[in-house]
Structure 1
Amino acid sequence: MHRGISLLAGVEYIHDNSKNTVSNQIWASFVTDCIGFPVSMIYRQDKGRPALHEAEELHNKAGIQLQPESKPTKPIVNHGDVYFAFLMCSELTNIDFRASLRGKIDVLVVPEWNQDTETFGTLVEATAVDIHAFIVQCNNRLYGDSRVRAPGKEPWMRDVVRVKGGDEDYYVIGTLEIHNLRAFQSSYVSKADGQFKPVPDGFEISDSRKTYPM
Structure 2
Amino acid sequence: MSQYAKISVGLHKNDLNENLRVALGHINVDMEDIKNSYLNTPNISSNRLKKLHQLLNDVHQHGIRHPSQRIHLLVLPEVSVPHSWATFITKWAREHQIGVICGLEHRIDKSKTAWNELLAALPYRATKGFKACVPIRRLKKHYSPEENHQLVNNHLNVPKLPSKSIYQLFQWRGASFAVYNCYELASLEDRSIFKAKVDFIICSEFNPDVNYFSNIVEAAARDLHCYVVQVNSAQFGDSRIVSPSKTDRLNPLRIKGGDNQTFLTMNLPLKKLRDHQRVGYGIQKDSDDYKPTPPDFSLYHTEARIKLGLKK
Q: Structures share a fold, TM > 0.5?
A: yes
Of 66, 77, 81, the match for 2:170 = 77
Q: Which residue of 2 aligns with 1:177?
A: 269
Of 144, 148, 152, the match for 1:55 = 148
Q: Distance in 1 between matches of 2:265 and 2:276?
A: 24
Say yes or no: does 1:196 pair with 2:282. no
Q: Distance in 2 between matches of 1:123 and 1:210?
A: 27
User: Which structure has the higher relative contact order (CA within 8 Å, separation 6+)?
Assistant: 2
The letter of the residue matching 1:54 is E
Shift of 1:157: 2.0
User: Could you tell me whether the CA contact under 8 Å between 1:147 and 1:162 is conserved in 2?
Assistant: yes
Q: Which residue of 2 aligns with 1:116?
A: 209
Shift of 1:203: 1.2
**Greater fraction of residues in helix:** 2
Shift of 1:49: 3.0
Shift of 1:101: 0.5
User: Could you tell me whether the CA contact under 8 Å between 2:235 and 2:259 is conserved in 1?
Assistant: no
* 2:207 alignment partner, SS class: coil
Shift of 1:110: 0.5
Instruction: Summarize the Cα distance change of 1:196–1:42 in structure 2 as closer, same or farther, 3 Å threshold.
Output: same
Q: Distance in 2 between matches of 1:26 and 1:96?
A: 20
What is the TM-score when the length of structure 2 is the normalising length? 0.63
Shift of 1:137: 0.6
Say yes or no: does 1:4 pair with 2:4. no
Shift of 1:165: 2.3
What fraction of aligned residue pairs are identical, expressed as a percent? 27
User: Could you tell me whether the CA contact under 8 Å between 1:144 and 1:163 is conserved in 2?
Assistant: yes
Q: Which runs of 4+ in 1 moved over 4 A?
A: none
Shift of 1:13: 1.0
Q: Distance in 1 between matches of 2:185 and 2:304?
A: 24
Shift of 1:3: 4.2
Instruction: Summarize the Cα distance change of 1:42–1:35 in structure 2 as closer, same or farther, 3 Å threshold.
Output: farther
Stretch of structure 1 that moved more, 50-59 or 30-39: 30-39
The letter of the residue matching 1:105 is V
Stretch of structure 1 that moved more, 81-90 or 156-165: 156-165
Shift of 1:35: 5.8
Stretch of structure 1 that moved more, 32-41 or 88-97: 32-41
Shift of 1:34: 3.1
Q: Which residue of 2 aligns with 1:151?
A: 244
Q: Which residue of 2 aligns with 1:90?
A: 183
> In the comparison of the two structures, how many residue pairs are matched?
208
What is the TM-score when the length of structure 1 is the normalising length? 0.91
Q: Distance in 2 between matches of 1:45 and 1:100?
A: 17
User: Could you tell me whether the CA contact under 8 Å between 2:125 and 2:131 is conserved in 1?
Assistant: yes
Instruction: Summarize the Cα distance change of 1:52–1:184 in structure 2 as closer, same or farther, 3 Å threshold.
Output: same
User: Could you tell me whether the CA contact under 8 Å between 1:46 and 1:68 is conserved in 2?
Assistant: no
Shift of 1:66: 2.1
The letter of the residue matching 1:146 is S
Shift of 1:30: 1.0
Any unmatched runs of 5+ in structure 2? 1-93, 308-312
User: Could you tell me whether the CA contact under 8 Å between 1:24 and 1:68 is conserved in 2?
Assistant: no
Shift of 1:2: 4.8
Cα deviation code 1:27-69 (max 9, x no counterpart): 1111112363112221111102311221111111x11022179
* 1:118 alignment partner, SS class: helix
Shift of 1:210: 4.2
User: Could you tell me whether the CA contact under 8 Å between 1:15 and 1:23 is conserved in 2?
Assistant: yes
User: Could you tell me whether the CA contact under 8 Å between 2:203 and 2:230 is conserved in 1?
Assistant: yes
Any unmatched runs of 5+ in structure 1? none
Q: Which residue of 2 aligns with 1:106?
A: 199
The letter of the residue matching 1:174 is M
